[in-house]
Amino acid sequence: ASHIVATSRRHQLDRWGVFSLIEPELWDQISWAVVFGNNGSEAILVANREQGSDCRVLSVGTNSSGCLGLGDAQSCLNPTEIEALRGIVLVDLACGSGPHCLALTADGRLYCWGHNGYGQLGNGGTVQLLTPAPCAGLDDGVRVLSIACGGNHSLALVASCSSGGNGNSCCVQGEVFAWGQNNYGQVGCGAAAATQATPRRAGGSLASGRPVRIVACCQTSSFAVDEVGEVHAWGFNGSGQLGTGGCANQPLPIRLDNWPRGGVGGVSGAGGGVARLACGAGHVLAVSTSGRLFAWGANSHGQLGTGGKSNSSAPTAVNIPSGVGVQGRGDDVAAYRVLDIGAAHYSNLSTALVASPNGSGCGSPNTPVVFAWGHSRGQSLSVPVQTRFAELNDAFACLSSPAVTCRRLLLSGGCKPASDTADESSAPATVADSIRQAFDDPSTSDVTFRVDGRDIRAHRSLLRIRCRHFRSMLSDSWSEHRQEVIEVRDYSYSVYRAFLEYLYSDTVCLSPEDDHDASSVGLLDLANCYCETRLKSLCEELIEQRVNVDNALELYAAAIRFSAPTLEQFCFNFAVYNLSAVVSAESFSQLDEFTLKQFMRLAAKAGAFKY
């Protein structure tokens, strides 16, 4: 879920020099982009076609090692379509230092191109590819879930299925495959070697079979976070970036035993498992399930944010100074909650998106704040500094050397207040803008939903296109097909409005006047009932950001009730790691007997009562 107020694509892209020569008509077609390369001089963009609903993939820049995928090694000043990816829907992109590129498709396939001197394309050879090609080293039964690149090695998180002798299929979720340069053991196959040119399953501590949900890379180190929030690390460790407490390289994944689960700084439960992890060139940032920030590894530019420049070989708490938008004292480790982090293996810059302990939603007066530290425009900042940026990538555009994105640069815009209206003096620039602005427009709508006595206007055709539930409801066999006003009694006004607005904008936006916990759970209920998988996932992300000791078990019960296993596990981990405070909260006494017994049984199994 986005934490930023909607800004124009032009404003977001203007920060990046590589986009300076883009033609004006292309600005509003771009949906997301990735800026990469040792000089920040190359970029891949995904844009809507001028006609039709499919997307096109374009590239622009200096084209080192053919990383633009255009079939040659010539630089390109203007974005040019990558013909080899025509008709393919991309959902993510990762790039190495060569550079080499990995592109993940919507159906879980992996395309690779660019530098290949160390076998980092995974096709069994070391010849660079000038155009994207499927990763030949991954089996046909593998579906790639996420990707990451180090300097010259690659990681893929996959789900694999195989057929058994009885005709049944066996599926394994969350396995890690690695390939490419392996001089420090960063591929994780047990022995350092110059090259591993085909994908190989990482072993060591990952061989236990516990599913992995996050993969990330420093330049020559690799990381995985499993489903219970434990960190596994392997590869180069000269600056302590593996977080093991020493500086010995590790050719196999090992589990970090010194992660501060029980607490830190005298505050019980300030640790917790890892919810987010990001890697710089030689340092690592991690956010616990309780919203605390930790860092370890190289610190020559102050990128750990601990106030000095000494390396750290173990996770160290990072304290965010108090400031506008962040409640509490700067020395109070419970006075802030980190929502997101950003780092890039090209860079020694660190960033964090920070909110108060109570969280914040779209339109809240307590808007999350971006902090930055480390190597910033030639200076070394050893403590987090509050910025005026709205998004982590904005900080990387203006402060990082080189100026690269720390993740996909999303250009679809964020939440906007419900009171915002379109400027009638000018027509919307894109189809997406037109649809977004048509929501609740009485001049064009042909159906009205009445919820709690309040009206929400919509368009039958769009609802049928966007939602399976409405395809049935508005068909001839339902009485609602003929009704101009449809009464809705199962959901509140705020929940149903947020749902309908999502169908028009792909954005979840709740009014600041609403009870966000109740509205988020209500929207999760609706998404589960209507089989809206993507909306359900967005609701889970939104709820995760608002979990605290007062509502953790209430949200845990809701996750079970509405079949949201990712949220269920997140709330469970949070409750276990903050058990003393959680069982003292009112929500603990209100938990139904079955759920309470289930929670206590699982908590005991997780070792919560061993002391």
Separation CA 106–CA 381 (nearest Å)? 39
- The predicted structure's pLDDT at residue 412: 52
Would you say 42 and 63 are in contact if contact means Cβ atoms under 8 Å apart?
Answer: yes
Q: Classify residue 499: in a domain, yes or no.
A: yes
Closest of 383, 385, 323, 326 to residue 355, by C-alpha = 326
**Cβ(325)–Cβ(197) under 8 Å?**
no
- 483 falls within a domain: yes
In DSSP notation, 361-424 reads -TT-SS--EEEEEEEETTEEEEEEEE-S-SSHHHHHHHH-SS---SS-EE-S--B--TT----T
Q: Are residues 525 and 436 in the same domain?
A: yes
Same domain? 526 vs 556: no
Flag whether 348 is in a domain.
no
- Count of Cβ atoms closer than 10 Å to residue 444 Cβ: 11
**Do 508 and 593 share a domain, yes or no?**
no
For residue 109, is it within any domain? no
Residue in the block written with tokens 């890379």: 217
- Give the angle 575-336-371 at the CA atoms, nearest 5°: 130
Beta strand spans in 183-290 (E)? 193-201, 212-217, 221-226, 231-235, 250-255, 263-264, 267-268, 274-279, 283-288
**DSSP classification of residue 250:** E
Using CA atoms, how far apart are residues 279 and 104, in angstroms rounded to an integer?
A: 20
CA-based angle 411:414:416, to the nearest 5?
135
pLDDT at residue 168, as a whole number? 47
Beta bridge partners of 312: 297
* E-state strands within 164-201: 169-182, 193-201
Residue that is written with structure tokens 């930790």 in the block: 294
Residue among 374, 371, 382, 377 at smallest CA distance from 399: 377
How far is the C-alpha of 518 from the C-alpha of 513, rounded, in Å?
A: 12
For residues 345 and 150, the answer to whether their CB atoms sit within 8 Å is: yes
Question: Which residues does residue 374 pair with via DSSP β-bridges, in sequence order?
Answer: 349, 381
Same domain, 520 and 551: no
563 and 494 within one domain: no
Number of domains in the chain: 2
The reported pLDDT for the residue numbered 393 is: 94
Please tell me the distance from the alpha carbon of residue 390 to that of residue 372, in angstroms, as a whole number.
Answer: 12
Is residue 303 exposed (0-12), middle (13-18) or buried (19+ Cβ within 10 Å)? buried
Q: What are phi and psi of 201, to 5 degrees?
A: -70, 130
Extract the tokens encoding 523. 């929207």
The CATH number of residue 601's host domain is 1.25.40
Residues 604 and 565 in one domain: yes
Same domain, 440 and 521: yes
Contact 335, 327 (CB under 8 A): yes
Same domain, 552 and 495: no
pTM listed for this prediction: 0.69
Which CATH number characterizes residue 483's domain?
Answer: 3.30.710.10
Asked if residues 48 and 68 have their Cβ atoms less than 8 Å apart, the reply is no
Q: Are residues 460 and 516 in the same domain?
A: yes
- Shared domain for 483 and 560, answered yes or no, is no
Strand stretches in 267-367, DSSP E:
267-268, 274-279, 283-288, 293-297, 312-317, 337-342, 349-355
- CA torsion, points 531, 536, 538, 539, in degrees to nearest 10? 140
pLDDT at 484: 86
Helix (H), strand (E) counts: the chain: 14, 30
Tell me the helix, strand and coil percentages in the chain, rounded to 5: 25, 30, 45
Q: At what angle do helices 493-505 and 516-529 cross, to 10 degrees?
A: 60
Residue 570 located in a structural domain: yes
- Give me the residue label for tokens 């992109």: 93
Q: Of 509, 536, 563, which closes a domain? A: 536
Q: What is the pLDDT of residue 27?
A: 80
Which residues sit opposite 158 in a β-bridge? 144, 175
Per-residue pLDDT at 259: 86
Examine the domain organization and report whether 449 and 520 are in the same domain: yes
Identify whether 253 is part of a domain. Answer: no
Does residue 436 sit within a domain? yes
Provide CB contacts within 8 A for 597, sequence distance 6+.
none
Closest by Cα among 124, 69, 67 to 98 = 67
> What b/e sequence results for 534-544 when a residue is b if at least 16 CB atoms lie within 10 Å of its CB, and e otherwise?
ebbbbbbebbb
- Are the beta carbons of 372 and 349 closer than 8 angstroms? yes
Domain boundary among 494, 517, 536: 536
3-class DSSP state of 182: strand
Q: Which helix (H) or strand (E) holds 502?
A: helix 493-505
Whole-number pLDDT of residue 169: 45
Give the residue from 536, 564, 596 where a domain finishes: 536
Q: What span, in angstroms and rounded, lies between the C-alpha atoms of 291 and 209? A: 27
pLDDT of residue 403: 95
Helix H or strand E encompassing 146: strand 142-149
How remote is the C-alpha of 35 from its chain's centroid? 17
Q: Considering only CA atoms, which of 430, 432, 434, 436 is closest in space to residue 416?
A: 436
Question: What is the mean pLDDT for each group of 10 consecutive residues in the chain (611 residues)?
Answer: 41 84 82 93 85 76 95 93 93 93 92 96 95 90 92 93 50 85 94 88 89 95 92 97 96 91 44 87 92 94 96 94 48 64 97 68 58 95 93 94 93 40 40 81 88 92 91 79 86 92 84 68 92 88 84 91 89 84 86 89 80 56
Tokens of 107: 């159906």
* 448 domain residue, yes or no: yes
- List the domain range (segments joined by +) for residue 590: 547-610
